[in-house]
Structure 1
Amino acid sequence: MAATQTGATSTASRNRRRPWIAEFYASSLGKKYAMAITGIVLMAYVFAHMVGNLKLFEGAQPLNDYAAWLREIAYPALPEGAALWGVRIVLIAAFAIHIHAAAVLTLRNRRARGTKYQSKRDYNAADFASRTMRWSGVIVGLFVLFHLADLTFGATNPDFDHADVYGNIVTSFSVWWIAAIYVVANLALAFHLYHGVWSLFQTMGWNQRRFNHWRRYFAVAFAVVVAAGNLSFPIAVQLGIVG
């Protein structure tokens, strides 16, 4: 009797439906939507981060004041730095979901290759874009870890000072190999942004044949603007324009 009850409980547990959001995310379509939505969140951050860092060209005081303002957002209603950490938590969650969805979709696509329905030409184009996204995504992911270690925690800078963001940036970018890492990583980010922006419009259903050329222009413009801004920082330090 006990065994029967245990079996019934086990069956009921297996048959119990998960929340609809979990069911939707489990599907390939759900993961594509998750990638698109988290991609928008990450794109907004990347753009805002680049614009804020342009204060590097205004000098030490404006950039350090900007960094202090970020730490003091919503203070004293919230403890100092709480709002900034809230943003960081959202970004970490978005980053984790983006990576997980991309990894699962990649594995599913590999398993489904035995039943390709595309023409050879379409498949080659899609495969090239997929490989580009995959490797640029890996490079960007590793770069994020390096960037945090370098300019958030100061692991590569023995004279790191949380209050002197300008000095930290100049010290790091004065080292040629660190500057080179930033250049390579931001070129990879540009390719990733271009393909990502193009893809998310299609995933979200924001595409029409007569507007697709504008979609491409936006993808190119966004990637170029972000890359140009981010690349200007290490290049300016290496050339002595900032320092």
Structure 2
Amino acid sequence: MAVSGAVMVTFLVLHMIGNWKIFFGAESFNHYAHWLRTMGEPVVPYRTLLTLLEVVLVLSVVLHMWSAWSLARRASAARPVKYHGKKKSHAQGYATHIMRYGGITLLLFIIWHLLDLTFFVVNPKGSAATPYERVVADFAPERFWVTAIYIVGVVMVGLHLRHGVWSAFQTLGLRSPRNDRALRLLAGGLALVLTIGFLIVPLSVTFGLVS
């Protein structure tokens, strides 16, 4: 779970940086989108490396979900009868709900995101438009409900990351009582940066800063 999560976090950071190309104008953003599909040419055919990266990402998502399901089954089998007398803390309950139900919300959000800006099924401009035109049309002021979907999805990503990154440090044996506070701050800071970094694009379009 920790390793597959690390792969996805790396993807999110790179994806966020790529999204910021939109602030340099249509030409820069469209050039970046074209470059993603032509990486490695002419050594490898068109879209080969991007497809391989997508396969790795999908496998990471599947393995992450399988790990969560497998760990939940192990925990249930190891403790078939609930503990008595000691209630779960608010922090533990929060983390459980965020990671469990937040994961389901994230899966639905990923599906919507793919249908929107990868397969163009729900995008108002469709496949004939440029990447820049699709983003601008998608988050136009009159389509604020789409921006709202992304706000909810990205916030859930941030909450999931906040707990998940810290848990990964612990799983990989990097946490100690001495650095626990620093690692928590690092996890929270990364989650905050990614949340703001992803939301700034749709919000900038919705409020007319990018058009």
Work out whether the TM-score is over 0.5. Answer: yes
Contact 1:198 1:216 in 2 (8 A): yes
Corresponding position of 2:209: 241
TM superposition shift of 1:128: 2.8
Aligned mates of 2:62, 2:131 — CA distance in 1 = 27
1:57 to 9, 13, 23: 23
Q: TM-score, normalised by structure 1?
A: 0.81
The separation in 2 between residues aligned to 1:39 and 1:183, in whole angstroms, is: 21
Matches within 5 A, 1:30-49: 35-49=1-15
**TM-score, normalised on structure 2?**
0.92
State the Cα distance separating 1:155 from its structure 2 match. Answer: 0.7
Matching residue within 142, 161, 164 for 1:196: 164
User: Alignment partner of 1:210: what SS?
Assistant: coil
Name the residue aligned to 2:145.
177
Partner AA of 1:219 in structure 2: A
Q: Could you tell me the percent identity over the aligned residues?
A: 37
The verdict on how the C-alpha distance between 1:217 and 1:226 changes in structure 2, with shifts beyond 3 A counting, is same
Deviations 1:33-61 (A, max 9, x none): xx000000000001110011001111111
> Separation in 1 of the partners of 2:75 and 2:148?
34
Deviations 1:147-203 (A, max 9, x none): 000000111124223661111111111111111100000000000000010100000
What's 1:226 paired with? 194
Count the aligned residue pairs: 209
- Contact (CA 8 Å) 1:156, 1:172: kept in 2 or not? no
* Structure 2 unmatched runs, 5+: none
Q: Among 61, 68, 73, which residue is 1:102 paired with?
A: 68
Aligned twin of 1:9: none
RMSD, aligned CA: 1.9
Unaligned segments of structure 1, at least 5 residues: 1-34
